Structures are given as structure tokens and as C-alpha cells.
């Protein structure tokens, strides 16, 4: 923030830091670093359990910061889902990536300790300024790490290290702390940071004012929420404006000793006792005095909740929400992973055991499991997986894309490809519990069914199969059905790092007094003719919703907004127009300008212009009626009557190719009444889905999230 000034809030915000759930390489006891591995099945359970603890704590988050790696992003999504705050903004930052493991990446910790010596490996793991050997740039693992997320379309590549010391990792984390997290806290915002063991240790070093020697005793188990409460320092005047750049977060560069790392300078054998964190009881109820704050001159932690290790000097100002003894057990086990080939899970198994044998996947596994009634994708990859050229795609997506290509074969338009400068994909969310019950949802925040989750996953597979799509950004409503559809499709695209932005302007239509009723129930109360006119008309609004229903829906995500009590399709159209004009189109123009400049520079220098064919692509996931409103803006010949009658299949991508002026291009691939948008799916499946929806409507049973 530098000299930028942030006005003080009435009270400082609360900070929760959370290491991701167990990953597939945590399970295998492998050094991971920047490798983008997924959560294990236990990791999914851990993330959900962490969310339950935070929900019981009653925390309301205002912003989430996470890394650009899927194990952290997916944990953040699972936590937000558990606390029912999916709409909270999430910033995915490479600055919060794990410390790069260099040439250690993919090696088993115990096996490496046997080969290189426990002392050497522990120095790499917990030393302050001891980077591992670098990972060669031309190695297969480096090439797998340095992927599209660090090479944004039309922009200069982001720096990807080949190794890092903890000191270097801390430097980038501290810069992000000053730039984003600290200003949020000073504004009074509650902040959730979901990241990795070493990046969170870097934060702890600042939050608890630890020296380089003291930070060596800090270990953070997976999915164990650590809560920091703050108060204003007594020396700061309440009315004083606070500069977020004034924080001095540096610590004395005291050399770290071998003793402080629990290692020796010689290669003598090391016992488990010498590495273990002692099982000391929790500190007494009378904590030691607060140290001077390294967080900010005007801000300090409000209490001491224990120590890191056994030294009274390494005070911990954060409070774990997981049982203290379980945290200590996990910390001890983590230290022993160089001595024993074990995996550590904070929440343990059915018998309460937090450790078990390390398991390395022998073959690639990609399966859907059911946890507490919802389905989740679980992936396991052997280390050799990352040497493969590509992952085998889901056969259904392949078949659908093949059917689509056959249907449009021979219908290309000369010069069409050169005109395409941007791609817009409209998407209705997957099937919801209200769709299942034929209820009119409106602004009710309902869940996807497992069918809807599978529809979203298939959508992601289709988009990943397409050579046309390289996503720049995803927009959704503030309702969980669109947000979770976006999360699931990005997960299947292996592109969880793509930014997702939420706006209330993409909410479904506000059905007023009809919300929560089936069309038959609404007809019985208000008359079939009136209800059909409200649902299928353009200007007619249903009766406004009762105040009790409004109070059930209105929450802090709509703070400061004049929430409509009822809407017509025309009202929806007026609501989405500012989104098009003020958010989507400026973002598209900026992305197109960057892409054009990059392509021109590549052409001028005779460089590789491979990115030129990949134009910026944007996904908009919105409610059914809001999607109809967007179609009326994009399809200049589409009438309001035709828009109302058009059936929109669940979670099926509708693609618009735009020219340099952001005008949708006509295409022979479009099916009437559309002339510009075309369905990226098997045409026979789209037609079958539309016929099913039309039959429901004709029978007076058509409901759901229109």
C-alpha cells in the first residue's frame, strides 16, 4: 500500500489462518512445494471439519486470501461452503504459494533423509536461509509447475522460482501481507487466509513477533484453524488515519543454530526424541505479558494463548480451534516424518489415530466419493503422473465434443476465426434442490443436487476439451448454486486458479410472493392465468414477497442495496445492464488490449505467437431469467416472447464469439431462435434437455431457479 492511507475501523478485524487439508502428496510423505497436487479424500473431510469448527465459532468473513494452488483453493471453497458464505470474495495469489522445494520436489522425506542425512534434510525443512538445491528449469517437474496460471494470456509471465529458502518465501508473503491482508484488518474486515505450512509460518513469524531461530519450532498441522484477535495499540490515537505501509514487520536476522533446529552439525544419527516437540500441557490460564507488536504500530494481538514448542519466549497469540493435545500430537508426528514414513491427518481416523503409513499412488485414480450426502471428486496421482503429456479426459466429454464437431462440420464461415477477439460463455447453474421439487427459487440460496454437481463437472470437462477456451475470469451471482457450479467446472478444467467474481446483479429473478412455491401452488393462490402471465411475460411483476420472506433472504451480502421485492423479466434486464456496461465489457476490453499488445510484440520480435489463437474467454454463470435477460442484450433479433420460451439446459455452455467491438458474431452453429450463441455440447443432448423442460412447462410443472 506504501503511502496509501486506510481509515481506522471501529474495531480491527479478526484473522483466521488455515493450512489446507491433507493433500495426496502429504499422504505419500513427499516434498510438494509448488507442485499442484489435489486434496486426498481425508483432506476433503479435514477441510469440511475445519469449516464446521469455524461455523460453530460464528465467524463471518469479509474476504479470503489463498494461494494459486488447488489444494489451498479447494480447502477455501469447502470451508466457505461449510460456513454458508460462498459469496465472500476470494483472492488467489501466487505470493501465498508454498515455499518452493527445489530439487526435493516429489522425493519422499524419509527416503531423502536416509540418502542425504537427517540433519541436511531438516535444515532444508526448517532452516531460515537454507534453500534446497534448485530444480532445473528444463526438468519435467519444472515444466509441469510453470503452467498457464503463471503465464496469463497477453501478459508477461509471473516469476516462478526454482528453489527457495524460508527467508525468500517469507519476503514475498510479507509483501502480500502489507499489500492486502493488513489493510483488510485495519478496515475492520474479518480475514480468512488458506495457504500452506511454510507460507503460514511466515505469517506467524510476523503475528507472533518471532526471530529466525524461534520460527524453527513452529509447525502448523493441516486444516487446524488458528484465530488471531486484535486490538488497537494504546499509543495510537483513535482518530488517527493509518498507513498500511508503515508496518515494520522485519525481525532481527539472528543466525539460526543447529541446536535450535533439533539437528547437529555432524551426521550422527538423530532419534525421534531429539526431533519431537514435547507433549507439554497447555500454558496456564495466566498468560505472559504481551510483547511489542510487529504487526502494525497501531495494531496488536489482544491475547497470548500459548507457546510454540516449550519456550516461554515463543509466545503464540493465536488460538487453535482444534483440541490442543491433538495439535501437539500432529506437530510431533510432522517432525518425525524424516525418521518414519508416515502420513499425518489432524482429525485422525475412526479410532482417533492422527498418523498412518504413507501411501503412494501406484496408478492414477479419479473417482467421485460421497461425504455427508454430497459428492466430491478425489484424485490420486503417482509422482510419475506429472511426466505425462496430458491427462486422459472423461469419455463423455470426448464423445459430446465429437458429436458437436460432426454436427457443425462444413458450416464454417470464411474469415470468421480472424474476427474473434474474445469469447463469452453463458451458463445456467446445475440442477438444484428447488429444481428437483419444482419450486420457484428466485433469490433463495439453495444447494445443488448431486445431479447438478455432475452437470457442472461435465461442463468443465467440455470446456477443457475445447481448443478455443482459455479462461480469463468467471462471473457468478452471489447465490451458492452459481458459485458452486463455477467451482466445480474450474475443478474439472484443472483451472481452480482462475479468478471468480460474484455480483448480486447476476442473481436469478426475484419472484416475490411466488418464491418457494410450485407453479401449481402459485396458481391455486393467485389464479393460473395471472401466474402464467407473471412467469412468461416481459413486463408483469408477481406480487411482492412478504416481509418475513424478505428477512429470511436479506443478509449482509446485500448490505446497502435496495433489494427488489418482486421483478419482471424487464426488471432483470435493467439489473444486468450495468453489469455488462460497467464490469464485464471493461474487463473484456482490458484483456483484449493486453492480448493485442502481446501478440504485436511477439510478431515484431519474431517470437512465438502461440497465444495469439487463444483469445480471452469469460464465463458468466447466472440464474435462468437473468440469462434470458443477457440473451436479449446479445441477440439483437431475439424477441422477449422468444426469450421467455427458450429452454436453457442446466450447466450447459452457451458460447458467443465477439469481435473487436464486443459485438457477437453471427454463426451457422447457432440454433433458432438464436443466431449468435451456440451450445458447446452434443446437440442431441441439448435438444433432449430442452424437450424435457418444455414438457414440464406445458404440464404446468416448470419451476426452479428461473
Residue 695: band (very low, low, confident or very high) from pLDDT cuts 50, 70, 90: confident
Residue 262: band (very low, low, confident or very high) from pLDDT cuts 50, 70, 90: very low
Query: How much is the average pLDDT of 410-439?
Result: 89
Q: Which of 20, 196, 296, 317 is catalytic?
A: 20
Q: What percent of the chain has pLDDT over 90?
A: 63
Q: Which of 98, 260, 336, 455 is catalytic?
A: 98
Taking Cα atoms as reference points, which of 224, 223, 204 lies closest to residue 20? 223
pLDDT, tens digit (0-9, with 9 covering 90-100), for 109-166: 999 999 999 999 999 998 999 999 999 999 988 888 988 899 887 677 888 999 999 9
**pTM metric for this prediction:** 0.87
Residue 550: band (very low, low, confident or very high) from pLDDT cuts 50, 70, 90: low
Hey, how many other C-beta atoms are within 10 angstroms of the C-beta on 138? 7
How confident is the model at residue 143, as a pLDDT?
87
Return mean pLDDT, the chain. Answer: 84
Architecture of domain 417-511+572-698: 3-Layer(aba) Sandwich (3.40)
The ranges assigned to domains in the chain are: 5-134+196-384, 417-511+572-698
How confident is the model at residue 272, as a pLDDT?
42
How confident is the model at residue 2, as a pLDDT?
40
User: 652 burial class (0-12, 13-18, 19+ CB within 10 angstroms)?
Assistant: buried
Q: 5-134+196-384 with 417-511+572-698: one CATH topology?
A: yes
Q: Is the pLDDT assigned to residue 280 strictly greater than 50?
A: no
Which pairing describes strands 226-228 and 63-66: parallel, antiparallel, or unpaired? unpaired
CA distance 290 to 23: 36
How confident is the model at residue 613, as a pLDDT?
59
CA distance 86 to 51: 12
How confident is the model at residue 412, as a pLDDT?
73
Q: Are 185 and 8 in contact (CB under 8 A)?
A: no
How confident is the model at residue 364, as a pLDDT?
57
Residue 309: band (very low, low, confident or very high) from pLDDT cuts 50, 70, 90: confident
How confident is the model at residue 6, as a pLDDT?
52
How confident is the model at residue 700, as a pLDDT?
57
Q: Is the pLDDT assigned to residue 41 strictly greater than 80?
A: yes
Listed in sequence order, the DSSP H helices in 382-479 are 395-408, 416-419, 433-436, 450-465
Q: Which three cell numbers stand for residue 620?
A: 458468466
Q: Is 98 a catalytic residue?
A: yes
Higher-confidence position of 173 and 562:
173
Domain 5-134+196-384 has CATH 3.40.50.300: no
Q: Which three cell numbers stand for residue 256?
A: 539460526
Residue 432: band (very low, low, confident or very high) from pLDDT cuts 50, 70, 90: very high
Q: What percent of the chain has pLDDT over 70?
A: 83
Residue 242: band (very low, low, confident or very high) from pLDDT cuts 50, 70, 90: very low
Amino acid at each position: 500500500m506504501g503511502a496509501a492511507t486506510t481509515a481506522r475501523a471501529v474495531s480491527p478485524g479478526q484473522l483466521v489462518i488455515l493450512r489446507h487439508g491433507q493433500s495426496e502428496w502429504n499422504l505419500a510423505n513427499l516434498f510438494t512445494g509448488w507442485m499442484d497436487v489435489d486434496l486426498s479424500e481425508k483432506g476433503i473431510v479435514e477441510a469440511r471439519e475445519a469449516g464446521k469448527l469455524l461455523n460453530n465459532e460464528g465467524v463471518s468473513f469479509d474476504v479470503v486470501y489463498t494461494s494459486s494452488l488447488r489444494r489451498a483453493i479447494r480447502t477455501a471453497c469447502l470451508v466457505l461452503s461449510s460456513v454458508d458464505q460462498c459469496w465472500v470474495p476470494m483472492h488467489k495469489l501466487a505470493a501465498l504459494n508454498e515455499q518452493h522445494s527445489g530439487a526435493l520436489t516429489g522425493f519422499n522425506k524419509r527416503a531423502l533423509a536416509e540418502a542425504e542425512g537427517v540433519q541436511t534434510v531438516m535444515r532444508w525443512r526448517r532452516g531460515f536461509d537454507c534453500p534446497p538445491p534448485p530444480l532445473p528449469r528444463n526438468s519435467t517437474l519444472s515444466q509441469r509447475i510453470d503452467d498457464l496460471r503463471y503465464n496469463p494470456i497477453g501478459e508477461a509471465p509471473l516469476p516462478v522460482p526454482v528453489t527457495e529458502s524460508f527467508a525468500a518465501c517469507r519476503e514475498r508473503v510479507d509483501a502480500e501481507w502489507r499489500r492486502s491482508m493488513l489493510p483488510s484488518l485495519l478496515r475492520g474486515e474479518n480475514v480468512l487466509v488458506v495457504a500452506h505450512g511454510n507460507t503460514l509460518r511466515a505469517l506467524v513469524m510476523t503475528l507472533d513477533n518471532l526471530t529466525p531461530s524461534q520460527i524453527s519450532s513452529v509447525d502448523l498441522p493441516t486444516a487446524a484453524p488458528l484465530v488471531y484477535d486484535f486490538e488497537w495499540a494504546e499509543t495510537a490515537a483513535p482518530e488517527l488515519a493509518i498507513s498500511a505501509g508503515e508496518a515494520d514487520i522485519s525481525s532481527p536476522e539472528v543466525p539460526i543454530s543447529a541446536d535450535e533446529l533439533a539437528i547437529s552439525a555432524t551426521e550422527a544419527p538423530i532419534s525421534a526424541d531429539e526431533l519431537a516437540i514435547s507433549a507439554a500441557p497447555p500454558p496456564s490460564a495466566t498468560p505472559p505479558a504481551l510483547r511489542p507488536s510487529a504487526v502494525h504500530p497501531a495494531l496488536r494481538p489482544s491475547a497470548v494463548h500459548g507457546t510454540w514448542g516449550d519456550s516461554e519466549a515463543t509466545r503464540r497469540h493465536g488460538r487453535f480451534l482444534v483440541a490442543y493435545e491433538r495439535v501437539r500430537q500432529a506437530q510431533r508426528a510432522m517432525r518425525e516424518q524424516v525418521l518414519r514414513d508416515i502420513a499425518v491427518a489432524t482429525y485422525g481416523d475412526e479410532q482417533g489415530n492422527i498418523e498412518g503409513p504413507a501411501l503412494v499412488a501406484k496408478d492414477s485414480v479419479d473417482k467421485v466419493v460421497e461425504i455427508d450426502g454430497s459428492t466430491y471428486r478425489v484424485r490420486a496421482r503417482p509422482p510419475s503422473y506429472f511426466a505425462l503429456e496430458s491427462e486422459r479426459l472423461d469419455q463423455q466429454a470426448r464423445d459430446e465434443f465429437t458429436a458437436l464437431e460432426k454436427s457443425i462440420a462444413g458450416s464454417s464461415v470464411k474469415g470468421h476465426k480472424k474476427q474473434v477477439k474474445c469469447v463469452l460463455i453463458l451458463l445456467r447453474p446445475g440442477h438444484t434442490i428447488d429444481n428437483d421439487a419444482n419450486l420457484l427459487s428466485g433469490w433463495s440460496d439453495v444447494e445443488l443436487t448431486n445431479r447438478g454437481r455432475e452437470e457442472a463437472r461435465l461442463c468443465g470437462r467440455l470446456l477443457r476439451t475445447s481448443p478455443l477456451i482459455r479462461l480469463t475470469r468467471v462471473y457468478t451471482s452471489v447465490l451458492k448454486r452459481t458459485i458452486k457450479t463455477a467451482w466445480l467446472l474450474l475443478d474439472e478444467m484443472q483451472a481452480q486458479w482462475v479468478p471468480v467474481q460474484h455480483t448480486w446483479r447476476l442473481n436469478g429473478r426475484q419472484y416475490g410472493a411466488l418464491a418457494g412455491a410450485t407453479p401449481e401452488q402459485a396458481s391455486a393462490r393467485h389464479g393460473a392465468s395471472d401466474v402464467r402471465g407473471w412467469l412468461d411475460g416481459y413486463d408483469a411483476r408477481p406480487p411482492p414477497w412478504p416481509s418475513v420472506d424478505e428477512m429470511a433472504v436479506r443478509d449482509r451480502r446485500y448490505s446497502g442495496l435496495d433489494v427488489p421485492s418482486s421483478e419482471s423479466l424487464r426488471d432483470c434486464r435493467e439489473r444486468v445492464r450495468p453489469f455488462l456496461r460497467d464490469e464485464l465489457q471493461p474487463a473484456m476490453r482490458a484483456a483484449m488490449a493486453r492480448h493485442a499488445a502481446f501478440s504485436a510484440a511477439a510478431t515484431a520480435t519474431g517470437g512465438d505467437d502461440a497465444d495469439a489463437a487463444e483469445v480471452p474467454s469469460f464465463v458468466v454463470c447466472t440464474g435462468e431469467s437473468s440469462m434470458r435477460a443477457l440473451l436479449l442484450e446479445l441477440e439483437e433479433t431475439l424477441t422477449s416472447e422468444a426469450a421467455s420460451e427458450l429452454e436453457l439446459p442446466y450447466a450447459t455452455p452457451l458460447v458467443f464469439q465477439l469481435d473487436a467491438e464486443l459485438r457477437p458474431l453471427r454463426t451457422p452453429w447457432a440454433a433458432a431462435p438464436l443466431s449468435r450463441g451456440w451450445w458447446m455440447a452434443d446437440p442431441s443432448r441439448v435438444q433432449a434437455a430442452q424437450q424435457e423442460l418444455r414438457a414440464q412447462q406445458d404440464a404446468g410443472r416448470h419451476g426452479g431457479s428461473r
